Chains A and B, each alone.
Chain A
Amino acid sequence: MNDSEQGGAESESREYRTDGGTATARERSVDYLDAEVNIFKPSTPFMRDHLRIIWTGFVAWALIVFGPVTLTAIVPDAMSTPMPVLGFPLHYFLIAIGAPGGSLLLAFWYARKRDALDEKYGIDHAVTEGSADEDAVAADGGSDA
């Protein structure tokens, strides 16, 4: 489920990347101190894009964390089948390793997405921070395929 969620978000991002240029120009004119903050009513294009990533990640997280254990409660026998090679009962593996490991992958995915969003809106954290972070930013910019 993790993969399909990621795939969905990927195609979404491609969708709005086409208007990247204009969005950046528009963002520059936004005064964020006048833009209302409400998690259900994003008031700027940046907020809308950011919240789309956040909610996608949140749904994927909820499925990874609470999905297997709920399935186990519903169909315990099917979920307890031993796995080949590893020997874990399936539910044990998905809960003990799948949920924490999946969350780590999602966290990595989110941080990458958020960096890409910064780039789309022309945000450079290195500007105000002096030279310390510049290398990291440049390296990331290149790897954003």
Chain B
Amino acid sequence: MTGAALLQGGLLPEGLNVSFKLLPSILVLSMLGLFLAIGYVFRVADTEGMWVAGRSIGNVENGMAIGANWMSAASYLGMAATIALSGIYGLSFVVGWSTGYFILLIFMAAQMRRFGKYTAPDFVGDRFNSDTARAIAAVTTFLIGFVYAIGQARGMGLVGLYIFGDIGIPGLSGYQSMVVFMMAITVGYLTLSGMLGATKNMAVQYVILIVAFLVGLYAVGFTQGYSTLLPQLEYGRLISELSTEFSAPFVNESYYLWIATAFTLVVGTCGLPHVLVRFYTVESERTARWSTVWGLFFILLLYLSAPAFAAFGTDLFAANVGPVYGEGGMSSAAGDVIVVLAAQLANLPQWFVGFVAAGGIAAAIATTAGLFIAGSSAISHDIYTNIINPDATQREQVLVGRLSIIALGIITTLAALDPAAPIAALVSYAFSLAGAVLFPMFFLGLWWENTNRQGALTGMTTGLVIWFIPMLNEVAPNYGLFSGMAGEAGVISPALAQWVPAVGSALVATPIVFIVTIAVSLMTDEPDLETKKMVRQCHSPEPMGQQQTAEDVISTDGGETPADD
């Protein structure tokens, strides 16, 4: 995966039927219409309602929202793709993206709920009493949204080819035209629906994508004679018939890269702002815990099915299109649509294949919308209003928010025209960033009260720098930056790419950031008592009111201790 510069720009999934199809198009457009209608019906008036849904959501409902929020084109398309193309290495994505929720549950979910702030920049800014820390977290949130969305745009562009065909925007390839078209639809959808109804839509989006994925899997498995009732287990018997690359250990990528990727995806899960925000929407910390269990369950429905889809797709591809591995094997573009391709190669009706494709588009649009909202609020709320212009009116804030959504849309589209890697790898760059910069701040901030402002600032800066190095090394040459220095493999330093790969840089970065943050905190003054009490309140077993934050508790009922200040 490291720097495999494939047929870029003109990405064309071989074997996929690229043409305009009426029924699937109607299906996708009416799905978008449904999202807009739901957004309109459940629109909320105040900001509290918008961001945290009144803190009234229960276990199962929040579990579904966690699942919908989580599963993007990377889960729907990218995971099956890496499993099909890289075998056991692809499983590190299944493992990293699911088991990370346990770490989130035991170390952070309930404590975050008790802390009670809406966004990652809010947490970092308030915990470390620093506008600079808030700004770094906001910039990180924006960058995460941007990098994460490139993968979504690639997924929409490829899947859109099946549904709408080559729409032929002059000067652009079929894939590029589709990226522009789908991103325009996404930004338009966001402008029309605003941030309204985002949470209410999540349950619907989850249902659409999980049904599309599972029905697709069952139909392919049943019609092709692979499986009957439990394809998630039955594909085991197919494995021995597939090429050894599908299941032999470490033939595609090394053990080190497997561990680096899985570790990065785990810590990234615990550092992603749009995941943590789900814990503020629940009624109590107990619900925060149980809804994480439910969320993991809903996620596993898809994650245990993806390898089965990959196995079926690989077998069908080998039988109908050509060899999967080696020279002239399956391209990364075909891999990224393997889910749709499998349904098409199984000769299922066109509207049905369109339905499977629509699920992928629902996943991509839902996640892109969430990321863009988080990214634009980081700019308009945390940077513009808090730092640049504290007197900003409501209108100015909304304007800055809109402009940043459009800016995000444009840079994402440009970066996705000639993407550097397959969907799963693109998305894991964002996980590297969240795991290196935000996860250590959340973890230390919650579990060690002496973590202070200086420690956080140094730590976050270190994390950003370590994240940038492999990105410059591997990804920048793909966009023509420093390409003169890049060698044959498209990377500047192959040794660096081997030990600090962009997909798994957090394995190196996160421990270093932890050490730096702890060392600097020890060398400088402890934080003030007020901050420490806020941390202690996050760990106290005493129940808190539904609308309370840790800050409220310590400022209103500090008990007999205010004299200490």
Cα distance A142–B223 in the bound complex, in angstroms: 47
Asked, given contacts A54-B107, A69-B255, whether A125 binds B249 with beta carbons under 8 Å apart, the answer is no
B101 A107 Cβ-Cβ under 8 A: yes
Interchain CB contact (< 8 A) of B240 among A82, A96, A114, A121 = A82
Q: Please, what's the 1-or-0 string for B248-260, where 1 marks a CB less than 8 Å from any CB in chain A?
A: 1110000100110
By a CB distance below 8 angstroms, the chain A residues around B540 are 32-33, 35
Asked, given contacts A87-B239, A103-B101, A128-B544, whether A34 binds B561 with beta carbons under 8 Å apart, the answer is yes
Asked, given contacts A65-B262, A104-B300, whether A91 binds B539 with beta carbons under 8 Å apart, the answer is no
Q: Which of A3-11, A12-20, A36-44 lies at the interface with chain B?
A: A36-44
Interchain CB contact (< 8 A) of A96 among B91, B238, B284, B559 = B91
Per DSSP, chain B at the interface is: helix
Cα distance A46–B94 in the bound complex, in angstroms: 35
Q: Please, what's the 1-or-0 string for A99-130, where 1 marks a CB less than 8 Å from any CB in chain B?
A: 11111101110110011011001011101111
Cα distance A58–B99 in the bound complex, in angstroms: 11
B449 A57 Cβ-Cβ under 8 A: no
Asked, given contacts A72-B249, A125-B284, A129-B284, whether A107 binds B239 with beta carbons under 8 Å apart, the answer is no
By a CB distance below 8 angstroms, the chain A residues around B289 are 110-111, 114
Per DSSP, chain A at the interface is: helix
A91 B250 Cβ-Cβ under 8 A: no
By a CB distance below 8 angstroms, the chain A residues around B200 are none
In the complex, B283 has a CB within 8 A of chain A = yes
Within 8 A of B (CB), among A36-87: 36-39, 46-47, 50, 53-54, 57-58, 61, 64-66, 69-70, 72-73, 76, 79-80, 82-83, 86-87
B248 A127 Cβ-Cβ under 8 A: no
Asked, given contacts A38-B448, A72-B249, whether A47 binds B239 with beta carbons under 8 Å apart, the answer is no
B541 A100 Cβ-Cβ under 8 A: no
Interchain CB contact (< 8 A) of B543 among A104, A127, A132 = A127
Asked, given contacts A79-B249, A96-B307, A103-B296, whether A35 binds B447 with beta carbons under 8 Å apart, the answer is no
A37 B99 Cβ-Cβ under 8 A: no
B250's nearest neighbour on chain A, judged by CB, is A73
B75 CB to closest chain A CB (Å) equals: 12
A82's nearest neighbour on chain B, judged by CB, is B240
In the complex, A31 has a CB within 8 A of chain B = yes
B466 CB to closest chain A CB (Å) equals: 22
In the complex, B536 has a CB within 8 A of chain A = yes
A93 CB to closest chain B CB (Å) equals: 7
In the complex, B188 has a CB within 8 A of chain A = no
A92's nearest neighbour on chain B, judged by CB, is B247
A81 CB to closest chain B CB (Å) equals: 12
B540's nearest neighbour on chain A, judged by CB, is A32
Interchain CB contact (< 8 A) of B239 among A65, A88, A111, A133 = A88
Cα distance A27–B250 in the bound complex, in angstroms: 51
Cα distance A124–B542 in the bound complex, in angstroms: 8
A104 B297 Cβ-Cβ under 8 A: yes
A106's nearest neighbour on chain B, judged by CB, is B102
In the complex, B373 has a CB within 8 A of chain A = no
Cα distance A101–B299 in the bound complex, in angstroms: 11
In the complex, B293 has a CB within 8 A of chain A = yes
Q: Please, what's the 1-or-0 string for B132-147, where 1 marks a CB less than 8 Å from any CB in chain A?
A: 0000000000000000
B236 A93 Cβ-Cβ under 8 A: yes
Cα distance A89–B283 in the bound complex, in angstroms: 44
B142 CB to closest chain A CB (Å) equals: 30
Asked, given contacts A27-B541, A37-B449, whether A100 binds B236 with beta carbons under 8 Å apart, the answer is no
* Given A111-B293, A133-B283, 14 additional A-B pairs, CB 8 A: A32-B539, A33-B561, A64-B99, A72-B88, A76-B249, A80-B247, A87-B239, A92-B88, A95-B91, A99-B95, A100-B99, A100-B304, A101-B300, A123-B541
Q: Could you show 22 A-B contacts with beta carbons less than 8 Å apart?
A: A31-B561, A32-B537, A33-B533, A33-B540, A36-B536, A37-B447, A38-B447, A47-B539, A69-B258, A69-B262, A76-B249, A87-B240, A95-B91, A99-B99, A100-B94, A100-B98, A104-B293, A111-B292, A111-B293, A121-B541, A124-B543, A128-B543
